[in-house]
Amino acid sequence: MPWRAYHRSAGNDLSTKEGNKISREEKLTAEGWTKQSTHDEPQLSEMKEMYEEIGFEVHMEPFNPDNEPGCSECMKPDPDRYKTIYTRPKG
């Protein structure tokens, strides 16, 4: 995986030093993170703990319903309640 410098721009977009825009999700993927699922409490804490117990690093991002494919209608009224879980192997 090549190293890249990222620069924050408006919104959730980032750009490489070459000027190509990438999303926050693309940046996380480039850093080795895998998107798992979106939850609220108490499932959020349970899932985080489970992934840590089986040896993964866990990172949580604020939920953005505009960036979610599929059904997220029930989450749109209160998006701050939800977090999206990303994992990667430790090490």
Verify that 24 and 52 share a domain, yes or no: no
Q: Count of CB atoms within 10 A of residue 84's CB?
A: 20
pLDDT digits (tens, 9 = 90+) for 16-67: 556 678 999 999 999 999 999 999 999 999 999 999 999 999 999 999 988 8
CA–chain centroid gap for 31, Å, is: 11
Q: Which residue from 36, 38, 5, 37 is spatially nearest to 19, judged by alpha carbons?
A: 5
38 and 55 share one domain: yes
pTM score above 0.85? no
Residue 48 shares a structural domain with residue 72: yes
Q: What is the pLDDT of residue 66?
A: 84
What integer pLDDT is reported at residue 21 of this predicted model? 87
22 lies in the same domain as 45:
no
What's residue 36's pLDDT? 96
More confident position, 1 or 51 = 51
**Does 50 share its domain with 84?**
yes
The count of structural domains within the chain is 2
Residue 63 sits in the same domain as residue 88: yes
Domain of residue 71 covers 33-91
Answer yes or no: are the C-beta atoms of 16 and 22 closer than 8 Å.
yes
Same domain, residue pair 39 and 22: no
